[in-house]
A and B are shown apart, each in its own frame.
Chain A
Amino acid sequence: MNEVYLMLLLPVGCGLLGFLIKRLRNEMGFLGFIVTFYFALRIFLIFHNKTFAYSIASIAGIDFRIYADNLTRFILLFNSVFALLILLYSIITMRKSRGEDVYQLYLGLTLSGANGVVLSGNLFLMLIFWNMLVFALYGILLVGKKESVNAARKALTIVGVSDFILMLGIIIVYTIAGSANFPAEPLLSLNNGVMISAYMLLLVGAIAKAGAMPLHTWIPEAARVVPASTMAFIPACIDKLLGIYFLVRISYYLFDITQSLPVRMTLMSIGAITIVFAVMMALIQKEAMRLLSFHAVSQVGYMVLGIGTGIPLAVAGGLFHMINNAIYKMCLFLCAGSVEYRARTSELDHLGGLGTKMPLTMLCFLIAAFAISGVPPFNGFYSKWMIYQGIIELYKETNLWIIFLVAAMFGSVLTLASFLKMLHSLFLGERPKELDKVREVRFGMIVPPLILAFLCIIFGIFAEQIPLARLIYPSLPFFKIEPIGFWSAGLTTVLMLLGILIGLIIFIFGTALKPRKSKVFVGGEVLDTEEARITGPNFYSSVHNIDMLEKTYRFGEEGAFDFYNYLQGIFGGFGTLFREVINKFFVLVYNAFANIIISLGYVFSAVHNGELPGYLGWIFLGAIFIFILLAL
């Protein structure tokens, strides 16, 4: 019991102490986070296959209680692991930068809030911690460049409004079911309109937290202006853990969505749309953090899709993907952050060739990039595979499964494409002169990505033995998941083939790592080599340059590698289209709505024209109205 309270109080308490006693800030932060991690580990070991419920208080019939089961302990553990890594990283990056003094306080507040959300056994109690997170999010987003103010405001508006919607959903559930405790006994069924609307309202809260479309817009905006550790911790990790945790809780512990196909179709559609659109947007980004942030949105799609299928294997896959995503996305953000920290820029156009200067960072980035693209044997592959399998199982229920499958695979391909581009832009290709002095980051900044990359490999190779058997399957006790068809002969063949393909790609990179310099021939004119440097966003043309003759450079449009160029052109075009159409559309709708209300405000305020007789006339009218209604 005490562990539970300590999980809630320690992080924020130590953050506060560190804030007050500046000299001991780092020590306090580490102390708090390590002890939290220790308790999380203890809870993890103690509560194996046990549930635990404890009522803190009962107010007006609402039972504010703490509840822990396998799912809880699993999320708790990772919350504190990730927080510890981020703390280690941010201590170096935040040194002597703006907002350094409050940063750890917000980290602690976030961790406390996240632990609180996970430990709540009651929707109302959860809402309290949920809002603590909103507060922490707002505060932590303010720590950054000047423009972070706008991002913070946007985030607060989106998350805040979705909180009101969530609150409404909770109140409806409470009114109809008579209790806001979860897990509900028995599960609430989605058989009438009110229940479905309640579920949908809760869903808005979940996907706003997880950052699925269309409630994602603050994430890319924040990406450019806040420190990498913030991005890595909150949108990439904690928000995913909590959003998907909540989604699983409401979908399988509170309601039973397996009964209702339309609801699941909605979920899956949200997932599929998020995957495809966000990844297309990612493809056209020219800035590292922003690109990653769109992937942070895109990956949510897989989780929502997997959980929405209602097929046990895919649900487990969705949950597994959540933890995998947190691992590799954090790793990617931290690596990109390290590059930015050393190179002082994150514009892909101004970067390149840092592989030899920052080998460890590159290694981590490579592993995480493969993991996110779904390349075996890394963890991302395994969870995506489970989701695909689940979607295929859907054929018994609907014919639309093929669309979801195509969307998911398509998204995977585009993810790979965009990461090849990014990998090249950051670490391969030719290095701009001003980056010659860049060196590997310091120990504290390289350890967290290394640990995460290591986890990527472990969770991929021993997926069945470690994460699935110990973390994921116990968290979904109501499903009997049989990992059939996983290691069949056909599959192995496919994997072998894929492996060969990977080898090829790595081989290409191996040569690309040391770019061969050849004179640029432009009609006899001598060009400055710096000017002619091939920058990242045109990665595929640079491949040309290395391997092909100068002639092919000229007729490049017809070359063998142009498949990529076409691909990039086409989907980049789509991406631009979606940015122009979809994003503009949302912006337009939001703005139109806001403008209507604000102009209504101006109309209303015109009534207050300062003329006393007019005011008295209104009052008189109101009085007459009351008289007519009451006395006559």
Chain B
Amino acid sequence: MIFLPLLIALPLFSAFVIPLLSKLWKPFAPVIGNITTFVLFIFSLYGIAAIQGFPMLVYKFGNWPPPIGIIFSFDAFSAFMVFVISIIVFSGALFATKYLNHYTGQWKFWTLYMLLTTGLMGISVTGDLFNMFVWIEISAIASYALVSFGIEAEELEASLKYMVMGEIAGMTLLLAIALIYAKTSTLNLADIALSFQTIQYSKFYWSILALLLFAFSVKAALVPFHFWLPDAHPAAPAPISSLLSGVFIKVLGVYTSARFIFNIFGLTRENAPFFFNILVGIGLLSIVYAGITALSQKDYKRLLGFSTISQVGYIMLGLGIGNFYGIAGAVLYILAHGISKALLFLTSGSVVYVTGERNIEKLGGLGESMPTTAWSFRFGALSLIGLPPLIGFFAKFLIALGAIKQGFLWLAIVAIGFSGVTLGYLLKIENNVYLKKNGVEAKEAPFLMRVAMVFLVILLLVLGIGYKPLMDFVIQPATDALLRGTEYINLILGGI
């Protein structure tokens, strides 16, 4: 179980080593960054293997037993999140190696990148409430700094707005933690869940839930809490956009809220249908509003940003449906959207790297001069739209299946119908950037950037074709971990 603290310690260590070593020789920074992310990727695979057959692995810091000391609790859902994070982080690091030629002060980028990774990993594996807050803040601060990495006027503005909104959410979260501590006198998530069982459905319980839902909705950029995202994602360097869209909002927003709703608050569709309908409502609002807004965008990355909001709506929709298929769909959607949206942002980065232009109306004809980028875009887009046999299809399919099983036929119709809108805005990019003849001079992106994109394309295909093992070993255990509900308490506190 030593790999659990290593998931945190390794990137944290790299974050501190990079500034030191890059003073000696500049390329140390990307080299260390790439090695670290690759090792994390191996660890994540090991984590998935290690969790098979065990409902929960617990690592106790200083060997203090759970309610007293800080613990790392690693169940299948955590393993799944770590897997997604490490995929995106790895491809982002590969991509950034070359992409950063535009920027000065590369070691700062790599340090922040490693800190961001640390934070994301920490959130996914921690079993302690305040610890979770610390990781959230670490990754959030790193992301504020990374969004403004170019320190141009637009980037600073985007980062400022992002920070104001993000910090409001952070402070709300801290307030909620204080209130929880006042009521339960504990910070261990399982112990909190135990205490909540006695005060279930009281005013206090719902108020805390509302505070947390608000904080996580801002982090997950659900409509109407999404305003920071369409600014921040385009402003960030492409690997960071892909990281933010691919995993950041899902770890800070979706993972945390799912963990709280199912495992800590012990809510299910049976005992709190009203709350789950709210989730469905928020999800639906995001899908519709952001999807339609994306149609009117002209900036490559801003369009993708709106698309992200819309797609996160699908995840919330799946969670809100609340039966096995809905939740499994949401979990799979985290993976599918993570990979495909990261891929799309990387293609945007590759276009920006080559042409220096983000306005899709000024681009054109890159399909012939940049075939790898164009085909990566197409695969990512097709997966996002949900065409089999790419992985995106199965996610959307499970959500629709869940909706119908739950008796929401109309919901399935809207969810699948809005794939048409998805198709619409992605075709807009395809048409304007890759097909239309516009005489934009371009050559293909550098080798490493292409490798990063092809890596993700291959994952899309392999995971789509290997849907069955993926479902058996990763998605189903993760869904079960959520559906296990407050059984979570016994798994952590019972084994003292």
Contact = CB atoms under 8 A, between A and B. Distances in A.
Contact of B412 (A132, A168, A631): A168
B56 interface: no
B195 interface: no
Nearest to A134: B387
Interface string B406-421: 0001001100110111
B405 to A, nearest CB: 6
A24 interface: no
B46 interface: no
By CB atoms of chain B within 10 A, which of A124, A132, A146, A630 has the most?
A630
Contact of A59 (B165, B206, B225, B468): B468
Interface stretch (B112-120, B181-189, B293-301, B445-453): B293-301
A630 B393 CA distance: 34
A157 interface: yes
A13 B493 CA distance: 55
Contacts of B275: 630
Nearest to A619: B225
Contacts of B436: 149
Contacts of B435: 142, 149, 153
Given A128-B388, A167-B397, A618 B164 contact: no
Contacts of A163: 387
Contacts of A59: 467-468, 471
Nearest to B172: A623
A612 B164 contact: yes
B404 interface: yes
Contacts of A601: 292-297
Nearest to B427: A153
Contact of B278 (A174, A612, A630): A630
Contacts of A629: 210, 274, 278
Contacts of B386: 164, 167
Contacts of A156: 423, 427
B284 to A, nearest CB: 14
A462 interface: no
Interface in A444-496: none
B87 to A, nearest CB: 22
B278 A626 contact: yes
Nearest to A170: B397
A615 B435 CA distance: 36
B218 interface: yes
Contact of A623 (B214, B295, B387, B431): B214
Interface string B216-234: 0110000011011010000
Interface string A558-570: 0000000000000
B296 A627 contact: no
Given A164-B416, A171-B400, A602-B296, A626 B214 contact: yes
Nearest to B277: A629
A618 B224 contact: yes
Interface residues of B, number: 63
Given A149-B435, A153-B431, A619-B227, A630 B382 contact: no
B209 interface: yes
Contacts of A161: 420, 423
Nearest to A148: B435
Contact of B417 (A142, A153, A164, A627): A164
Contacts of A578: none
A184 interface: no
A127 B386 CA distance: 11
- Say what secondary structure dominates the interface of chain A: helix
Given A619-B225, A626-B214, A157 B427 contact: yes
A604 B209 CA distance: 29
A598 B296 contact: yes
B164 A631 contact: no
A532 interface: no
Given A164-B417, A598-B295, A601-B295, A627 B437 contact: no
A146 B412 CA distance: 38
A616 interface: yes
B471 A60 contact: yes
B30 to A, nearest CB: 32
B296 A616 contact: no
B213 interface: yes
B420 A172 contact: no
A163 B422 CA distance: 14
B423 A604 contact: no
Contacts, number: 142
Nearest to B275: A630
Contacts of A174: 401
B165 to A, nearest CB: 6
A503 to B, nearest CB: 52
Contacts of A160: 385, 387, 420, 423
Contact of A605 (B218, B296, B398, B430): B296
Contacts of A124: 388, 397
A600 B225 CA distance: 20
A135 B164 CA distance: 44
A597 B417 CA distance: 13
Contacts of B150: none
B210 A631 contact: yes
Contact of A175 (B165, B206, B278, B401): B401
Contacts of B387: 131, 134-135, 160, 163
By CB atoms of chain B within 10 A, which of A127, A128, A142 has the most?
A128
A604 B296 contact: yes
Contacts of B382: 135
B207 interface: yes
A608 interface: yes
Contacts of B421: 597
Nearest to A602: B296
B213 A626 contact: yes
B283 to A, nearest CB: 14
Contacts of A627: 207, 210, 214
B388 A630 contact: no
A127 B388 contact: yes
B13 interface: no
Interface in A140-198: 142, 146, 149, 153, 156-157, 160-161, 163-164, 167-168, 171-172, 174-175
B135 interface: no
Contacts of B471: 59-60
A621 interface: yes
A149 B433 CA distance: 12
Interface string A582-612: 0000000000001001101110110010001
Interface in A337-396: none
Given A171-B397, A630-B275, 14 more contacts: A134-B387, A160-B387, A161-B420, A161-B423, A175-B404, A594-B424, A601-B294, A602-B296, A604-B296, A605-B296, A619-B224, A622-B214, A627-B214, A631-B210
The 5 lowest CB-CB distance pairs between A and B, nearest first, are A601-B296, A615-B227, A128-B388, A601-B295, A630-B210
10 contacts: A167-B416, A171-B412, A175-B401, A175-B405, A597-B295, A604-B292, A605-B297, A623-B214, A630-B209, A631-B203
